[in-house]
């Protein structure tokens, strides 16, 4: 298929042409699915807000809904977003924004289609809320960097082919200045992945040990010491929920409403009626705010408001899941999959349709993953409300002099 025109008016025609060339009913094996996705990427229909040549057309993000609707109606395969959440929400936008031509050519097509899976190596046991305090060290050795350290809360690292990695390359400068951003092949010698079991029984998260792992300098993203600025770009994209348009009555509110609607009318406790109505309004407000943030992102990089959206989304999900558990009453903490240890092959962020018990337990992590609610409140205070910053004594001194 020849490159498609980069206009909104051509989207529907080009999407139907793609379907005619690759009929969904002929997608019978996994390789067929990848062939279709690669053709979609090459046609600029993967993510229309991506640049031409990298799966998009440089159009506003909202035009993607037209493409997605036509493909869904035809039963076309998708790239299984829940399986590649780091690819789409974090690694992809950052590589597009700061990668070299060689890096974008090498990674973006396989990243979007899901042929390669990515994880995020940011947080550490001693640098979670204070990410800039990370101590994983990268030392230059010729054309390579030698990296040693430990990362934690790494989503789906047990399945990842590559990782986005932050490491300290210069401890002699203040902590925010001495960090560099790398792209790591997770199959490299010296990489060890161990699971972290959650209260749901799942181990979506892992801890990763790096023991003198060699990373070619060609896998450095951006300039040396530019890691903190790029990390903020990554986290803003993650917090904005940049992968897809928020679904109405999706997530915890769906669980709550399903529980309520399945309860016979004569057994519904009227005391919960107003609480459920308020929860619905709160969930809808978060959904609409998400759409507004996505539209703003279409005009440029994510704004600090993405942090406010993430905070509101996390706290709303927790509150709604708690209410769903309360209305479920006896047996509410049970969930069909049980609590036995297992490592899933996708990130269960979308808990639409899951039991009240599972939703309650899983949403506890919402206010930790992707930035804790406490840190997000500081960001809102300082970057949106312009309130005075909290006094800090460790931001202007060399990292080697910061107490740890």
Could you tell me the end-to-end alpha-carbon distance of the chain, in angstroms, rounded to an integer? Answer: 57
**What is the pLDDT, as a whole number, of residue 368?**
84
**What is the pLDDT, as a whole number, of residue 163?**
98
Please list the active-site residues. Answer: 238
Domain boundaries, given as residue ranges, for the chain: 8-78, 118-226, 233-384
- pLDDT for 3 beyond 50: no
Cα 186 to its chain centre, rounded Å, is 18
Are 190 and 213 within 8 A, CB to CB?
yes
**Fold match between domain 118-226 and domain 233-384:** no
Q: Which residues pair with 56 in a beta bridge?
A: 52
Instruction: Look up residue 296 and give its two tokens.
Output: 């703003």
* Res. 299 pLDDT band, cuts 50 70 90: low
- pLDDT for 200 beyond 60: yes
> Between 389 and 2, whose confidence is greater?
389
Q: Pick from 130, 103, 326: which is nearest to 216 by CA?
A: 103
pLDDT digits (tens, 9 = 90+) for 128-171: 778 899 999 999 999 999 999 999 999 999 999 999 999 999 99
CB neighbour list of residue 348: distance below 8 Å, 6 or more residues apart: 82, 202, 204, 354, 362
- pLDDT for 243 beyond 50: no
* Res. 241 pLDDT band, cuts 50 70 90: low
- pLDDT for 280 beyond 50: yes
Kindly state the percentage of the chain with pLDDT values over 70: 94
pTM of the model: 0.85
> Between 366 and 349, whose confidence is greater?
366
Q: 397: helix, coil or strand?
A: coil
pLDDT digits (tens, 9 = 90+) for 98-127: 999 999 999 999 999 999 999 999 999 988
Q: Measuring CA to CA, how many Å separate 134 from each of 178, 180, 235?
A: 10, 11, 16
SS (H, E, C) 79-126: CCHHHCHHHHHHHHHHHHHHCCHHHHHHHHHHHHHCCCCEEEECCECC
- pLDDT for 5 beyond 60: no
**Can you tell me the mean pLDDT for 258-284?**
88
CB neighbour list of residue 372: distance below 8 Å, 6 or more residues apart: 128, 129
The per-residue pLDDT of the chain, averaged, comes to 89
- pLDDT for 244 beyond 60: no
**Can you tell me the mean pLDDT for 200-220?**
95
CA distance 190 to 20: 47
**Can you tell me the mean pLDDT for 353-358?**
83
- Rounded to 5 degrees, φ, ψ at 357 are -65, -45
Report the CATH number of the 233-384 domain: 1.20.140.10
Pairing of strands 162-168, 118-121: parallel
Residues across the chain: 404
Are 195 and 343 within 8 A, CB to CB?
yes
* Res. 242 pLDDT band, cuts 50 70 90: very low
Is CATH 2.60.40.10 the classification given to domain 118-226?
no
- pLDDT for 349 beyond 80: no
Kindly state the percentage of the chain with pLDDT values over 90: 57
* Res. 294 pLDDT band, cuts 50 70 90: confident
Which of 242-251, 273-282, 338-347, 359-368 shows the highest mean pLDDT? 273-282
């Amino acid at each position: 298929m020849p490159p498609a025109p980069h206009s909104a008016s051509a989207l529907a025609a080009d999407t139907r042409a793609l379907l005619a060339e690759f009929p969904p009913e002929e997608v019978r094996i996994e390789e067929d699915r990848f062939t279709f996705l690669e053709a979609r990427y090459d046609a600029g229909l993967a993510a229309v807000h991506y640049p031409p040549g990298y799966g998009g057309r440089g159009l506003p993000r909202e035009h993607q809904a037209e493409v997605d609707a036509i493909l869904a109606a035809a039963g076309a395969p998708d790239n299984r977003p829940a399986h590649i959440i780091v690819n789409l929400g974090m690694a992809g936008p950052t590589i597009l924004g700061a990668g070299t031509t060689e890096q974008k050519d090498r990674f973006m097509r396989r990243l979007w289609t899901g042929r390669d899976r990515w994880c995020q190596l940011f947080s550490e046991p001693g640098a979670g809320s204070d990410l800039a305090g990370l101590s994983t060290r990268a030392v230059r050795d010729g054309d390579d960097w030698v990296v040693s350290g430990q990362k934690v809360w790494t989503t789906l690292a047990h399945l990842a082919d590559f990782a986005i990695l932050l490491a300290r390359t210069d401890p002699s400068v203040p902590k925010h200045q001495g960090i560099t951003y790398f792209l790591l092949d997770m199959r490299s010698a010296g990489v060890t992945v161990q699971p972290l079991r959650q209260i749901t029984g799942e181990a979506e998260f892992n801890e990763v040990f790096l023991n003198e792992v060699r990373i070619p300098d060609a896998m450095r993203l951006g300039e040396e010491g530019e890691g903190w600025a790029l990390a903020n770009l990554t986290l803003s994209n993650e917090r904005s929920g940049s992968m897809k348009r928020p679904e109405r009555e999706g997530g915890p509110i769906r669980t709550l409403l399903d529980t309520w609607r399945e309860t016979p009318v004569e057994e519904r406790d009227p005391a919960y009626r107003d609480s459920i109505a308020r929860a619905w309004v709160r969930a809808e407000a978060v959904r609409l705010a998400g759409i507004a943030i996505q539209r703003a992102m279409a005009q440029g990089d994510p704004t600090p408001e993405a942090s406010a959206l993430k905070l509101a989304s996390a706290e709303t999900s927790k509150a709604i899941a708690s209410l769903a558990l309360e209305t479920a009453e006896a047996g509410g903490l049970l969930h069909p999959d049980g609590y036995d240890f297992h490592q899933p092959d996708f990130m269960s962020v979308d808990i639409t349709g899951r039991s009240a018990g599972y939703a309650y337990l899983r949403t506890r992590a919402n206010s930790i993953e992707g930035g804790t609610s406490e840190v997000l409140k500081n960001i809102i205070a300082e970057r949106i409300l312009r309130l005075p910053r909290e006094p800090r004594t460790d931001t202007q001194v060399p990292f080697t002099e910061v107490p740890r």
